[in-house]
């Protein structure tokens, strides 16, 4: 198989020319997508976008932990708001349609305003305003920097929120409706993970059939009982962590906020492994957290991710890291006997 074909992934109802994407938080306001695609990303996720513009938390609010190749941020969903981002995306809609057809889809990450009393209404507004411009939408309920946000990962709260979000998505007037993914935290108890898995696999939510192919199964369902119809189209695993590993060296390590980069890698990969297992490989996963090499990417893919994202690696290694990760991933796939990325998805669970 040609190198380009080996990196292709068919998932979430779209073709991704390569599995390495840019995580949300880098292009929060939808200002740099075209340049980011030219860096070699297979997909770009903008946001988090809130309904109304908001400043976020006071500065300083981002800290480099250079010795640890990590970052702590407490941005607090600084956003230009739905209207501004919608205008920017609308102005380049034809360009994005061409990119998507070429295997470079666009994701939009949705959040709530800090002062909002109705979180579900904020996410529904995001679906209605930005959904027609997205190939996939992300319900971000896992940032540690918005008070009360992570409470939305609770079973009852998540069920209620997703029922409303999915109803709004299904009511969109566009022909190609966006996939809906939920972005979760790495700081979850075993019970939390089980609850989230039960919600995203719940057939009674809206009785929807999953999009795209069964990840890593060559288009075929896993060997199990008849698969449940999925409530959502995928998971993003994971957001930043509020934990502080004892290995951290930087003086900045005690700053409040979410930790990303190398110290998050193993925790996020284990969370991917857990969620893939709990959902029986039936829910596509985008893996994010500490990816700075092809080896890091493949670890997440073998653990169950169909796609991966990076962000903090750009801080320490610059734009060339994108091509380096893709090239090393391609070499490792070949060395380990995989013909393509999709064959490697969830491979650790089949050993």
Q: How many CB atoms lie within 10 A of CB 158?
A: 24
Q: What is the pLDDT of residue 221?
A: 39
Residues written for the chain? 351
Q: How far apart are CA 58 and CA 78, in angstroms?
A: 10
Locus of tokens 């596509």: 284
Q: How far apart are CA 300 and CA 285, in angstroms?
A: 10
Tokens standing for residue 217: 């199964």
Q: How far apart are CA 334 and CA 84, in angstroms?
A: 44
Tell me if 283 sits within 8 A of 212, measured CB to CB. no
The predicted-structure confidence for 11-40, as pLDDT tens digits, reads as follows 999 999 999 999 999 999 999 999 999 999
The predicted-structure confidence for 50-86, as pLDDT tens digits, reads as follows 999 999 999 999 999 999 999 999 998 999 999 999 9
Query: What is the DSSP pairing of strand 70-73 with strand 258-261?
Result: antiparallel
143 in active site: yes
Sign for the CA dihedral angle at 142, 147, 149, 151 comes to positive
Tokens standing for residue 349: 């669970």
Cα distances (Å, whole numbers) of residue 192 to 23, 152, 188:
23, 11, 6
Give, for all 351 residues of the chain, the pLDDT tens digit: 566 789 999 999 999 999 999 999 999 999 999 999 999 999 999 999 999 999 999 999 999 999 999 999 999 899 999 999 999 999 999 999 999 999 999 999 999 998 898 999 999 999 999 999 999 999 987 666 666 656 666 788 888 899 999 999 999 998 899 999 999 999 988 998 998 999 898 753 333 433 333 344 333 334 333 343 447 999 999 988 999 999 999 999 999 999 999 999 999 999 999 999 999 999 999 999 999 999 999 999 999 999 999 999 999 999 999 999 999 999 999 999 999 999 999 999 986
3-state secondary structure of 200: helix
3-state secondary structure of 191: helix
Q: How far apart are CA 265 and CA 167, in angstroms?
A: 34
**Diameter of the chain measured on Cα atoms:** 53
* pTM recorded for the entire structure: 0.90
Q: Residues 79, 116, 142, 143: which is the catalytic one?
A: 143
């Amino acid at each position: 198989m040609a190198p380009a074909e080996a990196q292709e992934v068919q998932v979430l109802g779209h073709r991704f020319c390569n599995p390495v994407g840019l995580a949300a938080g880098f292009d929060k306001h939808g200002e740099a997508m075209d340049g980011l695609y030219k860096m070699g990303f297979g997909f770009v996720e903008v946001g988090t976008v809130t309904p109304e513009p908001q400043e976020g938390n006071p500065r300083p609010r981002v800290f480099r932990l250079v010795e640890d190749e990590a970052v702590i941020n407490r941005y607090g969903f600084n956003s230009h708001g739905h209207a501004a981002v919608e205008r920017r995306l609308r102005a380049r809609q034809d360009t994005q349609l061409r990119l998507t057809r070429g295997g470079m889809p666009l994701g939009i990450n949705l959040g709530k305003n800090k002062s909002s009393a109705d979180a579900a209404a904020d996410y529904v507004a995001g679906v209605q305003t930005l959904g027609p411009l997205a190939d996939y939408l992300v319900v971000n309920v896992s940032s540690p920097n918005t008070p009360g946000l992570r409470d939305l990962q609770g079973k009852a709260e998540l069920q209620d929120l997703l029922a409303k979000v999915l109803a709004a998505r299904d009511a969109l007037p566009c022909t190609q409706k966006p996939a809906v993914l939920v972005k979760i935290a790495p700081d979850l108890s075993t019970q939390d993970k089980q609850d989230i898995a039960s919600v995203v696999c719940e057939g009674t939510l809206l009785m929807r059939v999953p999009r795209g192919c069964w990840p890593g199964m060559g288009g075929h369902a896993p060997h199990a009982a008849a698969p449940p119809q999925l409530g959502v189209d995928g998971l993003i695993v994971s957001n930043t962590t509020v934990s502080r590993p004892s290995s951290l060296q930087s003086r900045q390590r005690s700053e409040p906020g979410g930790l990303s980069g190398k110290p998050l890698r193993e925790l996020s990969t284990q969370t991917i492994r857990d969620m893939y297992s709990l959902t029986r490989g039936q829910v596509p996963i985008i893996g994010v957290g500490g990816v700075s090499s092809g080896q890091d990417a493949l670890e997440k893919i073998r653990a169950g991710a169909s796609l991966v994202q990076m962000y903090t690696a750009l801080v320490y290694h610059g734009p060339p890291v994108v091509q380096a990760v893709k090239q090393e991933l391609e070499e490792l796939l070949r060395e380990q006997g995989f013909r393509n990325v999709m064959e490697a998805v969830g491979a650790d669970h089949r050993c």
